[in-house]
Amino acid sequence: MRPKARPEEIDEAELAVTHPEDHAAGVKAVLVSMGRALPQMGAVRTAQTFARLNQNHGFDCPSCAWPDPHGHRRVAEFCENGAKAVTDEATTARADLDFFARHSLADLEAHTNYWLGQQGRLTHPMVARPGATHYEPISWGEAYRLIADELGALASPDEAVFYTSGRTSNEAAFCYQLLVRSFGTNNLPDCSNMCHESSGTALSASIGIGKGSVSLDDVHHADLIIIAGQNPGTNHPRMLTALDKAKANGARIVAMNPLPEAGLIRFKDPQTVHGVVGKGTKLADHFLRVRLGGDQAVFQGLAKLLLESGQIDREFIERHTHGFAEYEQHIRAVDLAIVEEASGIGQAQLREIAELVASSQRTIICWAMGLTQHVHGVATIQDATSVLLLRGMIGKPGAGVCPVRGHSNVQGDRTMGVWEQMPESFLAALDREFGIASPRAHGADVVESIRLMRDGKAKVFVGMGGNFVQAAPDTDLLEAALRGCSLTVQISTKLNRSHVVRGRTALILPTLGRTDRDLQASGKQVVSVEDSMSMVHLSRGNLKPASAELRSEVAIVCELAQELLGPEHPVPWQAFREDYDRIRDSISRVVPGFADFNARVREKDGFPLPHPPRDSREFRTATGKANFFANPLEWVPVPSGRLVLQTLRSHDQFNTTIYGLSDRYRGVAGGRHVVFVNPEDVAELGLADGMHVDIVSEWDQDGVKEERVAANFRVVAYDTPKGNAAAYYPETNPLMPLDHVAKGSNTPVAKAITVRLQPVAG
Ligand SMILES: Nc1nc2c(c(=O)[nH]1)N[C@H]1C(S)=C(S)[C@@H](COP(=O)(O)OP(=O)(O)OC[C@H]3O[C@@H](n4cnc5c(=O)[nH]c(N)nc54)[C@H](O)[C@@H]3O)O[C@H]1N2
Ligand SMILES: Nc1nc2c(c(=O)[nH]1)N[C@H]1C(S)=C(S)[C@@H](COP(=O)(O)OP(=O)(O)OC[C@H]3O[C@@H](n4cnc5c(=O)[nH]c(N)nc54)[C@H](O)[C@@H]3O)O[C@H]1N2
Ligand SMILES: [Mo]
């Protein structure tokens, strides 16, 4: 049983639902961020912190991966949610020794994840030994020995899994994967497996590289921007500034979303006069109210209309692509009536958008979780890319693919080798640089790691950041799997549920965050990150760490490596930890695009990584060209009496970190247990607005039917397509069957869960 929220934590009776807002940001956003920062950090620390956020000599915002502008930066180059992320990390509250003495393990387990996150920064390494009632302090040396002993006792290195969340710096990520591969496994699941894996899989096959092809400047100068399955007003608020700029340059914006998200409708830039006093900019010129999972149909429908009108770039197709004939044949046979059934988008509107695409000279398609977290996410992204290929929109200014990344360094962690299936070229370079023998068999991703732990085939879990137990699917199964481990280790800044749902022995290793000063033997260290547009730049924390006991992620990895791999190991762990320039020197020889890393990263705005399709229309796919795929059209039907549920973020959280209880733009305050339902569905299903229901997910695999329940959600009649509902993640993760994954990327399907709503008795 999951614990119920305690009254002092979240009182769902306080839940209030008002009207959704029709615009994002504005002065209110500034007031909200300052209102949160002052009580948590105090005035001096607030001023010190915000003055350096995203500035050239400051630190990179730990929130999303949206890039910083080049050259001139505004005085405040951040957003409301970036400010909340920083406040959350730079808080003066402490989960210190006294805290752990006061709260038993049982007590901690009974608290919500929200409460755990609010207890402040971790200050000491802690251990919960078998049978213990409390976490107790442990020295760093003893902690490393304990991990090394447990790892050493495994029958095979593949019985351990090493998770990474996306905040880890390039330097720490590089050392971490090096440690894991030196130890002997490729079991490196990461948050990307649950996030943009479908984008990487789709783009690698389509254009030969799994990253977006546009720069910030391209966004500013596009004449058509399609934003599909993304809620930038909440999750990438600084993107609104870029869209505002594109609009000022004459761009049209098309939003594809089941929900009329505030940030897509109207934007008031709090830093410009018209944003403060005026009505702001109307952002989306067209809103396609697509059904959950209906995007592939829309992209195929658009392609059909483009082919029929002949407004395609034949020269580009001829010179740079492969598979056109088969694709054309497949797409011409697409039935627009089926497109409408699948997506809810009628022919008239589809034709309107096709006209826009046909007449645009510079088109960008942006997307996020609304496309990736579907069974057919990979095919959907390939079909979006194909629309661009038809029009020759890759490798020219103002045009291209733009998967908008989540965590601030999730893309960089991958570049540094945090992936269960790094290519041979990378592994060979790693072996050459260090004289090690990296394992070659592919490792386990997130879903596979959970299976291994469930089946007793993995016994040690190490988390480099993140909150695995809340982020991954199938909460009850996952909790049991983690409790079955012999050791769980969390390298973290703040307390979360992954510290209390633990293995037989559990370790908490407290680490420095992005905002913290990092002093090592050679002096003050800097780290680097890569943003969503492949720009690599430095981040320098400057705040006094929460305790003298904190160690940097790099130090923790290197010290653990020394203990685990012994003094004879060929990697210079000691030198790495003393001077991160040494790590960057190695990276410059191992990772393509990082030549002269130490010098180039110190240039003012950092440097861009090579991207062959963007730079020279070179496509390093198996065919040597950009590939069209004739993907069968798929969508998500709604069984009768059921709803299809998407799980999404409120405006007041960062993934599993809940900042507060105000989903302002959607008009929900005071609680999180809400399910947004179309008013007609509310009536037809015999429900009522304000009623409480249990959400029951139905899963049928090979005739075996399973049900999962998330209890007690308030029905909110909301503007979502008929048949489609929405509720917040992570409260809904218990509803996600582990095996419900995207084809090709193995990403858990978080945006299409078949459910029924069962009124709560009484
Ligand atoms: N403040 C804040 N910032 C964040 C995060 C956070 O939690 N808080 N998380 C970070 C991370 S890791 C990530 S990955 C990103 C996530 O950024 P988003 O992908 O914007 O996050 P979600 O809340 O999952 O929103 C998905 C959006 O897609 C829409 N959608 C859902 N299904 C479909 C569909 O089938 N088709 C279409 N067209 N639309 C659909 C939803 O209505 C919603 O608007 O944000 C990053 N930035
Ligand atoms: N149902 C559903 N599930 C989802 C999603 C969804 O849309 N729906 N989205 C998925 C997506 S896109 C993602 S990216 C994952 C996110 O999965 P994770 O990345 O695992 O989760 P976070 O909540 O971002 O992790 C927060 C924790 O990271 C730690 N932390 C913060 N900063 C640092 C740091 O600098 N260093 C270290 N070492 N630790 C730090 C803190 O202890 C904090 O509690 O969730 C996925 N799960
Ligand atoms: Mo993400």
According to the CATH classification, is domain 197-404+622-627 in 3.40.228.10? yes
pLDDT digits (tens, 9 = 90+) for 600-649: 999 988 999 999 999 999 999 999 999 999 999 999 999 999 999 999 99
Q: What is the distance in A from the centroid of ligand 1 to the CA of 688?
A: 27
Residue 7 — very low, low, confident or very high, per pLDDT cuts 50/70/90?
very low
Which atom, in ligand 2's list, is nearest to the CA of 511?
38
Give the pocket of ligand 2 (CB within 6 Å).
117, 165-167, 191, 194-195, 369, 373, 406-407, 464-468, 471, 491-494, 496, 511, 513-514, 553, 647, 655-657, 729-730, 732-733, 736, 750
Which atom, in ligand 1's list, is nearest to the CA of 726?
42
Which numbered ligand comes closest to the C-alpha of 471? 2
For ligand 1, whether the C-beta of 657 sits within 6 Å is: no
Q: What is the distance in A from the centroid of ligand 2 to the CA of 235?
A: 13
Q: What's the mean per-residue pLDDT of the chain?
A: 94
Average pLDDT over residues 152-160: 98
Which atom, in ligand 1's list, is nearest to the CA of 235?
3
Average pLDDT over residues 42-58: 79
Residue 4 — very low, low, confident or very high, per pLDDT cuts 50/70/90?
very low
**Tally of CA atoms within 13 A in the half-sphere of 400 that contains its CB:** 31
pLDDT digits (tens, 9 = 90+) for 356-403: 999 999 999 999 999 999 999 999 999 999 999 999 999 999 999 999
Average pLDDT over residues 543-570: 97
Q: Tell me, what's the pLDDT at 272?
A: 66
Residue 478 — very low, low, confident or very high, per pLDDT cuts 50/70/90?
very high
Q: Tell me, what's the pLDDT at 274?
A: 58
The 3-class secondary structure across 680-693, one letter per residue, is HHHHHCCCCCCCEE
Q: Which residues lie across from 388 on neighbouring strands?
A: none
Domain parsing of the chain, residue ranges: 122-193+422-599, 197-404+622-627, 643-759
Which numbered ligand comes closest to the C-alpha of 167? 2
Question: Among 70-79, 300-309, 560-569, 700-709, which is the least confidently predicted range?
Answer: 70-79
- pLDDT more than 90, % of the chain: 84
For ligand 1, whether the C-beta of 32 sits within 6 Å is: no
Strands (E), 43-100: 94-95
8 Å CB contact between 528 and 580: no
Burial of 483 per CB tally in 10 Å (0-12, 13-18, 19+)? middle
Q: Tell me, what's the pLDDT at 52?
A: 78
**Cα separation, 184 vs 191, whole angstroms:** 21
Which numbered ligand comes closest to the C-alpha of 194? 2
**Cα separation, 739 vs 709, whole angstroms:** 17
CA 665 to chain CA centroid, nearest Å: 21
Q: What is the pTM of this model?
A: 0.96
Alpha helices in 93-210 (DSSP H): 97-102, 105-110, 113-117, 140-152, 170-183, 197-207
> Based on C-alpha coordinates, what's the Rg of the chain?
25
Which atom, in ligand 1's list, is nearest to the CA of 258?
42
Angle at 547 between CA 541 and CA 552, to 5 degrees: 50
Q: Tell me, what's the pLDDT at 721?
A: 98
pLDDT digits (tens, 9 = 90+) for 184-208: 999 999 999 999 999 999 999 999 9
Q: What is the distance in A from the centroid of ligand 1 to the CA of 255?
A: 13
Which atom, in ligand 1's list, is nearest to the CA of 410?
12
Fold entry, domain 122-193+422-599: Rossmann fold (3.40.50)
CA 631 to chain CA centroid, nearest Å: 26
Residue 761 — very low, low, confident or very high, per pLDDT cuts 50/70/90?
confident
Q: Tell me, what's the pLDDT at 3?
A: 43
Q: What is the distance in A from the centroid of ligand 2 to the CA of 66?
A: 17
For ligand 1, whether the C-beta of 646 sits within 6 Å is: yes
Which numbered ligand comes closest to the C-alpha of 489? 2
Instruction: Please give all residues whose CB falls under 5 A of ion ligand 3, grouped by chain where several chains appear.
Output: 195, 406
Fold entry, domain 643-759: Barwin-like endoglucanases (2.40.40)
**Tally of CA atoms within 13 A in the half-sphere of 554 that contains its CB:** 27
